[in-house]
Structure 1
Amino acid sequence: MLTIHVGAALRRTADGRAVPGDAVAVRDDRVAEVGPLEELRERYPQARVRSWPGTVGPALVHEGELPAAPTPRERVYAVLRSGATAVLADRVADPDLRDAARRSGLTVLAALGRPAELVPSARADLAVFDDAGTCVATVVAGRAVHRRA
C-alpha cells in the first residue's frame, strides 16, 4: 500500500527549509518519492493521503536517557511520542529495554551518524511537529505508531 503523508509543509532534513505543498510518498517501509503533493497524487492516484496538522519531516534520534516510566515498553513509547525513531545503543543497554526498542521498530545506533533525510529508498521514519514544536505523529518504517489525539 502506498501512502502520501502531507502537512502544512515538508522538511527533507530535520533542520532544512519547510516547503509548503510538498509531501512524501511511502511504499511499505520505504520512501518512494518526495515532491509537490499534486505531482505525487497524479503519479500515485491509488495512494491513500494522510493529512497531518503540522510540518512533516524525518524522525529524530533520541540521544539522551530514555524517559522514566513503569515499564520498558512505556519508556520506548515515550521516545516515539517525542518524534524519535532511533536511539543510541548505550541508552538501551538493559536487555528488557533493548528488546522493547527492537519490538517497537526503533533503530538502535552504535553512534550518531549523518542526519536523517527524506530521500527515495530511505527507511520511512517520519515525524510531524506542530508550530509549538510538539510531536503530533510518528511513523516508524511506514507505520504510524503515535498520533496525538
Structure 2
Amino acid sequence: MLTLHTAPLLDAGDGTLVPGGAVAVSGDRITAVGPLADLRATYPGARVREWPGRLAPARVHTGPPPQAPSPRETVHALFAGGATALLVDGPLDPSLREAAARGALRLVASPSPTPLTPGSRADLSATTDDGTCVATVCAGRLVYRRR
C-alpha cells in the first residue's frame, strides 16, 4: 500500500526544505517528494501518516552500537534513535550483523545519509523540535513509533 509520510517541515536532505511536505512510499522505495496537497491529489487512495516536527532522511549511526541485552534489541535501539544505517569501520559481531540483515538495517562505510529522492530506498525519520525521534521508517516499513 502506498503511504504518504508528512510533517510540518520536510527536510529532503539535499538542502530542500518544504513546509507541509510529504514523502510517498511504495514498498521499500520513495515514489515522490513534495507538498502534501500535491501528493494527496496524485495518490488519492494513499494512507497518510502525520508526524510532528521534522521529517528527514534517517540517520547513519556513528560510533559503537548501543548496549542492549540482545542484537535484536540493539537494532531496535538504533531505530528508536532515528537511524537506519550503522557506520562500520572494523569487525562487527556476527550476531549483530545477522540481526541488522533481518531488520534491513544498512551497514555502511560512509556516514552520509541518503537524501529523500524518488527511486531511493525509503529510509526516513521524524523528530520533534528538541531532536526526539518519534518515528523511523526503514526500507519502507515503520520500524519505530514513539508512544
TM-score by length of 2: 0.94
Aligned to 1:7: 7
- Name stretches of at least 5 consecutive residues in structure 1 with no aligned partner: none
Distance in 2, Cα, partners of 1:92 & 1:141: 24
Distance in 1, Cα, partners of 2:60 & 2:113: 9
The answer on 1:50 being equivalent to 2:49 is yes
Q: What does 1:102-141 align with in structure 2 at a 5 Å threshold?
A: 102-109=101-108, 111-112=109-110, 114-141=112-139
Report the alpha carbon displacement of residue 91 of structure 1 after superposing the two structures with TM: 6.3
Q: 1:145 to 1:66 in 2, by over 3 A?
A: same
Q: 1:92 to 1:44 in 2, by over 3 A?
A: farther
- Residue by residue over 1:34-71, the C-alpha shift from the partner in whole angstroms, topping out at 9 and shown as x without a partner, is 01110100000011111011211110101110111111
Distance in 2, Cα, partners of 1:51 & 1:144: 13
Aligned to 2:27: 28
State the Cα RMSD in Å: 1.5
**Segments of 4+ in structure 1 off by > 6 A?**
none
Report the alpha carbon displacement of residue 76 of structure 1 after superposing the two structures with TM: 1.2
Q: Please tell me the residue identity of whatever aligns with 1:129.
A: T
- Name stretches of at least 5 consecutive residues in structure 2 with no aligned partner: none
The answer on 1:83 being equivalent to 2:82 is yes
Q: 1:148 to 1:32 in 2, by over 3 A?
A: same
Q: In 1, are the aligned partners of 2:6 and 2:23 still within 8 Å (CA)?
A: yes
TM-score by length of 1: 0.93
Equivalent position SS for 1:23: strand
Q: 1:47 to 1:24 in 2, by over 3 A?
A: same
Aligned to 1:100: 99
Report the alpha carbon displacement of residue 22 of structure 1 after superposing the two structures with TM: 1.1
Distance in 2, Cα, partners of 1:92 & 1:8: 40
Report the alpha carbon displacement of residue 8 of structure 1 after superposing the two structures with TM: 1.1
Distance in 1, Cα, partners of 2:123 & 2:91: 19
Distance in 2, Cα, partners of 1:92 & 1:108: 12
**Aligned length, in residue pairs:** 147
**Identical counterparts, % of pairs:** 54
